[in-house]
Structure 1
Amino acid sequence: MKSLLTVPRLTGAAAIFCSFIIIGLFVANFFRILPSIGIIGVTLTAFCYATLHRSEQPMRNDWRMYAALVGVFVLHAAGGFITEQSNMKEYIRDVVLQSPFLLLPLAFWLLPALPSRYLKLLWILFISCVVVSALLSTSNYLLHATEINDMYLRSKIMPTEPDHIRFSLMVTLATAAALALLAFDNLDKQIRSLLLVAVVLLALFQHLLAVRSGLVTFYAVGILIIGWLVVRARQYQRAAIVGATLVLLLVVSYMSFPTFRNKFVNTQADLGEVKNVDAANNYSLVARVYSYKVAAKVIKANPLVGVSKADMTQELAVHYRTDYPSIREESYIMPHNQFIYLAVAFGLVGVLLFTLSFYYPLLWAWPRFAPLLIVQYTIVSLSFLVEYTLETQVGLTYSLFFILLALNGITSGQQQVGKGWRPA
């Protein structure tokens, strides 16, 4: 068995299953189990490697950062102790949803450092999937431009795969990953040209898509790049060029893309209706504001350990009906903020445990050179402020997988996988 399942074959199998996870993010609506197949596959591969070859590994991965991420799963699993018996099915669904926080960290801890070429291919695969999905959405927009432009005035967004919120985050990460490969890796001329085209296309598409969370993350990463160029690289001219490019991109997008302009108009209209409770039935930003107010009341009543995630819907609905009766039941929404969401579900103690668990790998990585890890944490953290990112299959898998993939680039086994920059 050992001669059949060699280390190169197992790392190759792990990379293939990782590619299933990446592709699965974009086809989840049509092939929902593909990400799960990838997660289970990479976990089984990791167990095979640990059983057959782990004793031969001279240096093993630091277990602490992976154990910290497993803490997020433990937090959700512990919610069963305060869940109403009538909602146990919902609790079990949540445990299954959060299972990647158990399986993926365990798998990446057991596996050796993936070869650099596999890491690069996986990042290029991700960039390619984002570009293809962006081109398909753009084609659909061009065929239905008038209708879609009007949708943006009604708080709607053009169709994308996956959903527009998660996809806008992926566009930012793919753009940053392409820039990182261009800046730090010795790629052949043809691949560099394709990556450069991808950067231009994705930057323009992000503004055509005009999703607020995507735009915020895009410009936040741009500011990070400028900061790195000024503080670390001392390349002031390049920093000025990046800054000027971002400003020019904003101006050109506003002048050229009706979706961008209409989203700006829609956002202004949303903000103008915040004090009108009835507007929560029609305006997305207003609905979010009142979801925060309702959540605050639940947190105040259950500050330490919350009400459990499975019981959240019922608890929030009680306060909606009592405090804001003019908001229709179909307009009740969960608080669109990961930290507030967790505070309702698991209390302030849960938020503290989540924060320590989720962000420990970033502290562990400091001060290693890991631009992709920093970018992904920046993107996901900003999304937490306006979305409950980790409470959907695509959002959770996307957030966790690319953190782990970047961490794999700085694992202790990098001396075994050749020279050159390991995407991290």
Structure 2
Amino acid sequence: MDSIHILANQGILALTGLALLYFILKIRNFNIFLIEKRFSVFFIIFIAFILSLLRTNPENQKYAALQFELHYQFLALPFLFAILPPFPRKLYYDIFFLFLIMVFVCAVGSTSIYFQNKEYFDWAYGKSHLIPTPVNHVRFSLMVTFSVFLAYYLIEKDYFKDFFFKGLNIIMLIFLIFYQHLLAVRSGLVAFYVVLVLITFYLLASKNFKKGLFLFIGVIALVGISFFSLNTLKNKWGYTKYDWNLSDIKDKANNYSIGKRLVSQQVTFQLFRDHPIFGVGEGNIESEVRKGYAKKFPFVEAENRLSPHNQYLRTLAATGILGFIVFISCFYFPLFSNKNYRSKILLVIYTITSVSFLFEDTLETKTGLTFCLFFIMFCLHYTKALRVDVNKNLT
């Protein structure tokens, strides 16, 4: 998997290089960045990040360099998709289907590991240990949620003309729903059900009452069946209740996942209160969190001192209220620009990303940032292609 991370970086650099070559040979017009505001606003996030990085203390230069290496995607990916012309609609669907197959294959492998060691994992879920996943379990659960929607979306768009592939897609859809509950990652399940509720409201608002009611009943049934039939989900729920109700903060912060996260968020929020306008700086956030633990929670052992497990709080602490306003305004602008929220595929990836922000510092991990930002850019590019198709039909 380490090799795949490296390949992802090389792939993004190669695509960006091709886009730059296309720009030089075909376009030669910098006004495109003013026209394509849905992409260019992400450059503002990158500039704000660089300005915050300039405040890095000398002892934190190494961490700042790693942060720059991670966040260059805020420059590369918007540039890539702003430059490239719309693709044929089938190509977007092909990419969605390819991603769906990749996640499905990984989920099958993960499930086989579970059934080979069922008794152990049923017990382990009561201790917050999980079935192995190809990448971090939280990020993978988000990918599974997105893949479930992709399977539904491809059926809705009548992508499959061949009976075999249509049947395969339905099998993948059902299996991934099962796997999401078997894996029982809390943030992934929350994102999954938020997306389901969102689709239900979308159908009801579109006056498609039969589908909306059917989906609503299906959601309720799915919760009940999963909870009573899957030991991993039941045991994870029992662990979560025990973790949440435990009153000994020293025990919670050292031995239980929710306790660790709550303490990390308290430390991060205190940093924001101490530096409300400009924050502590992107390059200093890690060292300042360590100092916050040493000052407020010295009883937390070093290996249990987590980075801020909330993207919103982390941004507040790192860049202050000014940087937070820039980030929120620019990050969500493309969703509301030209009523892009009407695009279900774009709305879903934004929803999944936003839910993950509540539980994880998603954009501070290579897998999380690449997954979320790439598909936001790709789906924005897809809405661009749809708009071009509409304009062609009108003319």
User: What root-mean-square deviation, in Å, do the aligned CA atoms of Structure 1 and Structure 2 show?
Assistant: 2.1
TM-score w.r.t. structure 2 length? 0.93
Within the candidate set 202, 212, 215, 2:189 is matched to 215
Cα distance, 1:39–1:411 mapped onto 2, change above 3 Å: same
Which residue in 2 is equivalent to 1:385? Answer: 358
User: Hey, what's the Cα distance between the residues in 1 that align with 2:374 and 2:338?
Assistant: 16
Aligned counterpart in structure 2 of residue 235 of structure 1, from 204, 208, 217: 208
**Residues in 2 aligned to 1:292 and 1:60: alpha-carbon distance in whole angstroms:** 37
**Structure (1/2) with the larger helix percentage:** 2
Asked whether the 8 Å contact 2:44–2:330 carries over to 1, the reply is yes
Where in structure 2 are the equivalents of 1:6-25 lying within 5 Å? none
2:308 equivalent to 1:345: no
Q: Separation in 2 of the partners of 1:63 and 1:419?
A: 19
Specify the alignment match of 2:263 in structure 1.
290
Partner of 1:105: 78
Q: Is the CA contact 1:61–1:110 (under 8 Å) kept in the aligned structure 2?
A: no
1:213-259 deviation digits (Å, cap 9, x = unpaired): 11001100100111011111x12121111111111111111122111
Shift of 1:44: 1.5
Please name the residue that 1:158 is paired with: 131
Question: Partners of 1:134 and 1:252 in 2: how far apart?
Answer: 20
Mapped partners of 1:33, 1:97: distance in 2: 12
Partner Cα separation in structure 2 for residue 157 and residue 419 of structure 1: 50
* SS of the residue 1:405 aligns to: helix
Query: CA–CA distance in 1 between the matches of 2:338 and 2:232?
Result: 39
Which aligned runs of 4 or more in structure 1 are off by greater than 3 angstroms? 59-62, 412-420
What percentage of residue pairs aligned between the two structures are identical?
A: 32
Q: TM-score, normalised by structure 1?
A: 0.87
The C-alpha deviation readout for 1:262-309, integer Å capped at 9, x for no partner, is 110010011012552332100010111111111122111111111123
Kindly indicate whether the alpha-carbon contact (under 8 Å) linking 1:113 and 1:414 is maintained by their aligned counterparts in 2.
Answer: no
How many residue pairs match? The answer is: 390
Aligned counterpart, 2:298: 325
What residue in structure 1 maps to residue 146 of structure 2? 173
Q: Report what 1:6 is aligned to.
A: none
Distance in 2, Cα, partners of 1:158 & 1:365: 42
Mean CA deviation greater in 261-270 or 361-370: 361-370
Report the alpha carbon displacement of residue 32 of structure 1 after superposing the two structures with TM.
Answer: 2.6
Aligned-residue offset at 1:318: 2.1
Q: Larger deviation: 322-331 or 102-111?
A: 322-331
**1:278, 1:326 within 8 Å by CA — same for their partners in 2?**
no
Give me the whole-angstrom Cα distance separating, in 2, the residues matched to 1:391 and 1:256. Answer: 36
Structure 2 unaligned spans of 5+: none
SS at match of 1:357: helix
- Asked if 1 retains the 8 angstrom alpha-carbon contact of 2:87 and 2:385, the reply is no
Q: Which runs of 5+ in 1 are unaligned?
A: 1-27
Question: What amino acid does structure 2 have at the position aligned with 1:170?
Answer: M
CA contact (8 A) 1:116 1:418 kept: no
Partner of 1:403: 376
Are 2:34 and 2:40, in contact at CA under 8 Å, matched by a contact in 1?
no
For residue 119 of structure 1, what is the aligned residue in structure 2?
92
Cα distance in 2 for partners of 1:100, 1:325 equals 36
AA aligned opposite 1:210: A
| 1:319-345 residue CA offsets vs partner (Å, 9 max, x unmatched) | 222222222122111221001011111
Q: 2-side partners of 1:379 and 1:339: how far apart?
A: 14
Give yes or no for the alignment of 1:202 onto 2:141. no
1:46·1:107 contact (CA, 8 Å) conserved in 2?
Answer: yes
Contact 2:151–2:173 (Cα < 8 Å) also in 1: yes
Residue in structure 2 matched with residue 25 of structure 1 by the alignment: none
145-154 vs 393-402, greater mean Cα deviation:
145-154
Residue 335 of structure 1 corresponds to which residue in structure 2? 308
- The question of whether the paired residues in 2 share the 8 Å contact of 1:172 and 1:214 is answered with yes
Whether the 8 Å contact between 2:56 and 2:281 is mirrored in structure 1 is yes
CA contact (8 A) 1:274 1:286 kept: no
Partner deviation per Cα, 1:93-119 (whole Å, 9 max, x = no partner): 101100111001001111001121211
Q: 8 Å contact 1:60–1:412 — kept in the other structure?
A: no
CA separation in 2, counterparts of 1:238 and 1:318? 53
Q: Aligned to 2:226, what secondary structure does the other structure show?
A: helix
